[in-house]
Structure 1
Amino acid sequence: MNITRENIDALNAVVKVDIAKEDYSDKVEKILTDYRKSANIPGFRKGHVPMGMVKKQYGKAVLVDEVNKLLQDALSKYLVEEKLDVLGNPLPKAQDDLNWDADAFSFEFELGLAPEFDVKVKGKKAITHYNIVADDKMIDNQVKHLQKQYGKIVSQAEVTKDSEITGTFVNEDEGINNSTTITLDLLKGKTNPKKFIGAKVGDTIELKTKGLFNDDHALMTYLKVAHDDAHGLNIPVNFTISEINERELAELDQDLFDKLFGEGNVKTVTELKDKIKEDSEKQFKQQGDQKLLNDVTEYLIESTKFDLPAEFLQKWMQTAGEEPMTEEQAREEYEKSEKSMRYQLIEGKIINEHDLQVKFEELKDYAKEMIKGQMAQFGQLNPSDKELEDIAARILGNQEEVKRMSEQLMSQKLLAFYKENANLKTKEITYDDFVKEFYS
């Protein structure tokens, strides 16, 4: 067997594999001999079928199968031995004139090669890392929310601005008929809330879905419409009131503190607010870190310049999925996924150059910490090492879980690397301002 490579350019190559008769003949002969021993052909005793008949019936199929196996094995070993960093998979070049009656065969494969490039994590312009804080207004609102949540429900004769209104949204033509409970602060603008003020049980309020809620996604919750339908939905709906209540705020006393945080852990309103601030900012940290990860990713994609073997990748996409694509579909798919491909290459280079690979022991420790956190939620604060080892072993036996945790751990490692090596500046921002600036 002989394998040669012709580099078309820096990103494309063609590999030629020449297979001679001696490369496959012994294997084919052995398989056909085994077939002869077990073949059941009318008119012949088992094991006494003439070899010529066996070859006539099975010879070509065995030859094709063995040559293809030999070809794939040889090509895989060649790519490893030559340390070729290929994108996608080798694409066999069409051979309409392939003669399987010949003794020797030649096959050609197109390769898409990964580009050579350098990554500069530290750019000239600083990337902002947002430190999201819970301000006094947010903490006070959260305190009031907790007082409402644990307060006493009091029935009302008519709707006021603080009412909890239970009723049914209906639009028969659109198949909407959903019972739910809303509060007026969910409604957008001033006109919609005004329609409810003073209404009584049994009254029907006529509304329009467009601009009904502060967030269109609320239509999914309160009207049970699909996500795609919620955006820009503009139909009339009636809301018939069946119940009006108000929450009498719970007292900020030790009984409430104990319900919220366990007996004796919080003793004053100041401690309550401190606890709310601490817990909120732990959650905000995750959002700030995710924003940083997204921003560094965008910076790396924009600042790291290299070409891709676009034509090859589009040809590969046509046959790589479960369903074949047309040239047009592959081109569209490539355009949608090019950015992602670029970042995968950049990320891979960073991981390899800085030895950030997820090692098994790290993954096991990560799994055990995750298990400890979950057990603590159910009051099991001191699990034994054996318990943790046994549960971790079961989790790590599930390939889907391993993949999910590996991705989470890799994100953490990359985030820590970027925090240490990228050009960052820290900016303190309230949660409300953060949401307005990036998600409104």
Structure 2
Amino acid sequence: MNITRNNVDALNAVITVEVSKADYAPQVSKALNHYLKNATIPGFRKGAVPMSLIQKQYGKTVLLEEVNKVLQENLNKYLQQEKLDILGNPLPKIAEDFNWDSEDYKFEFELGLTPTFDVDLSTIKGLTHYKIFADDNMLDEQVTRIRKQYGKMIAKDTVEAGDDIRGTFINEAKNIDSPAQITLDIFKDKATADKFIGKKAGDVVTLNTKGLFEDDHQLMDYLKVGHDDVHGLDVDVDFKIEEVTTSEPAELNQEFFDKLFGEGNVSSVEEIKAKVKEDAEKQFATQADQKFLNDVTESLLTNTKFDLPSEFLKKWIQSAGQEPLTPEQAEAEFAKSENGLRYQLIEGKVMQQNKLQITFEDLKAFTADMIRKQMAQFGQTNPTDADVDGIVARVLSNQEEVKRLSDQVMSEKMLNLFKEKVSATTKEVTYQDFIKESYGE
């Protein structure tokens, strides 16, 4: 067997595989002998069928199968030996004059080659790594929310701002009969909320659905209206008030502190705020890191220039799925996936240049830490090492979980590398300012 490669250009190559009779004849003979021993053909005893009949009935099929096996085995071996870094899989070139009646065959395959490029993280400029802090307003709001959450519900005669109102939205013509628990801040306009002020249980407030909420999709939640009907819905609905309640905030005393954080762990409002601040800023740090990771990714995609074997990849996409695609469909699919492919190549290059690897110990440690955090959320703050190790072993026995966790570990390693090597300005902001600067909201 003879295999040669012709590099068309830096991104495309053609491999020619020449298969002679000596390369496949022993396998064909062995397969035909197997048929000879096991074939059941009317008029002949099992094992007594003439080889000429076996050859006539199965010869062409066996030939195709065995030549293809030899071809694929040697092609794969060649790619490994030559250490060719390819995109997609080799695509066979169709030969119009191919003749299976010949004893020697020549096959050609197109290859898409991975582009050669480098990634220089030091060239990335102008990025900001946010450090988000919980300001006094946020801490005061959180304490107020916690006090209300653990407070006592009190029945009221009339509605005031901030009350909870239980009732039913009704419109017989639209078959709306939807029980709901509301507060007045759900409505888009203050004028709508003001209609409820001073009302009592048994009173009915008539509302128009057009612009009732900030988002029309909320009509689905409160009125149980179908998605196709919510956009621009313009009908009157009655809200029949059935109960008015308010929450009396929990008293800030030691009993409340112990209920929230365990006996003796907190003894003042300042200590509650300190714990809320600590927990909030841990979550904020995760969001800030994700924003930084996204920004570095975007910068790498913008500034790392290299060509792809685009035409080859479009042809490969046409035949890669379960159902073949038209050239137009493949073109659209390539356009959707190109950035993802580019970042996979960039990420792989970054890992290679910086020798980033995932060891089994890395995976175990990451999984154990994740499990301890999850157990802590359910009150199990001091699990034994044996308990955690047992859960880790079960999790890592699932290959899908291993893949998912490996991606998370590598993402963490990439983030730490970017923090170390990418020049960025650190900026301290409140959470509200972070949202505004990041997303314009």
The TM-score by the shorter chain falls in which range?
over 0.9
Q: Distance in 2 between matches of 1:177 and 1:99?
A: 74
1:331 equivalent in structure 2 = 331
Any residues of structure 2 matched to 1:39-438 within 5 Å, and which? Answer: 39-123=39-123, 125-169=125-169, 178-202=178-202, 203-208=204-209, 210=211, 212-213=213-214, 218=218, 221-223=221-223, 234-236=233-235, 238=237, 240=239, 241-438=241-438
Q: CA deviation at 1:176?
A: 6.0
Q: Within 1, Cα distance between the matches of 2:129 and 2:123?
A: 14
What do residues 321-358 of structure 1 show as CA deviations (whole Å, max 9, x unaligned)? 23322221221221122111111110010011111122
Mean alpha-carbon deviation: is it higher for 391-400 or for 192-201? 192-201
8 Å Cα contact 1:180/1:222 also seen in 2: yes
**Structure 1 pair 29/283, CA: closer, same or farther in 2 (3 Å)?**
same
2 CA distance for matches of 1:412 and 1:219? 41
Aligned-pair Cα RMSD in Å: 2.4
Equivalent position amino acid for 2:313 in 1:
L
Contact kept? 1:192, 1:212, Cα under 8 Å: no
Could you tell me which residue of structure 2 aligns to residue 15 of structure 1?
Answer: 15
Q: How far is the alpha carbon of 1:124 from its aligned partner?
A: 5.4
Output the TM-score relative to the length of structure 2: 0.92
For 1:437 and 1:161, the matched residues in 2 are separated by: 32
User: Taking structure 1 as reference, are residues 389 and 191 closer, same or farther at Cα in structure 2, changes over 3 Å only?
Assistant: same
Give secondary structure in 1 for the equivalent of 2:106. strand
Secondary structure of the residue aligned to 2:132 is strand
Unmatched segments (≥5 aa) in structure 1: none
Deviation at 1:211, TM superposition (A): 6.2
* Structure 2, unpaired ranges of 5+: none
Whole-angstrom distance in 2 between the partners of 1:171 and 1:122: 64
Q: Which amino acid aligns with 1:238?
A: V
- C-alpha contact 1:122 1:422 (8 A) present in aligned 2: yes
Shift of the 420–157 alpha-carbon distance from structure 1 to 2, 3 Å rule, reads: same
8 A Cα contact 2:192 2:207, kept in partner: no
Query: What SS class does the counterpart of residue 122 from structure 2 fall into?
Result: coil
Q: CA deviation at 1:79?
A: 1.6
Q: Secondary structure at the match of 2:206?
A: strand
Q: Deviations over 1:397-416 (max 9, x none)?
A: 11111111011111111000
Question: Displacement, 1:228?
Answer: 9.4
Shift of 1:377: 3.4
| TM-aligned CA deviation for residue 379 of structure 1 | 4.1
User: Residue 264 and residue 403 in structure 1: after superposition, are their counterparts in 2 closer, same or farther (change >3 A)?
Assistant: same
Counterpart amino acid of residue 413 in structure 1: K
Distance 1:95 1:160 in 2: 82
Aligned-pair distance for 1:178?
A: 4.0
What SS does the aligned partner of 1:196 have?
A: coil
Q: Mark the CA change 1:211 to 1:408 in structure 2 (over 3 Å): closer, same or farther.
A: farther
- The answer to whether the 8 A contact 1:167-1:181 is kept is yes
C-alpha distance 150-346 of structure 1, shift in aligned 2 (>3 A)? same
Looking at structure 1, the residues matched to 361 and 418 of structure 2 have their Cα atoms a distance apart, in angstroms, of 23
Contact 2:36–2:47 at 8 Å: present in 1 too?
A: yes
Percent identity of the aligned residues? 55
* CA distance, structure 2, for counterparts of residue 420 and residue 138 of structure 1: 31
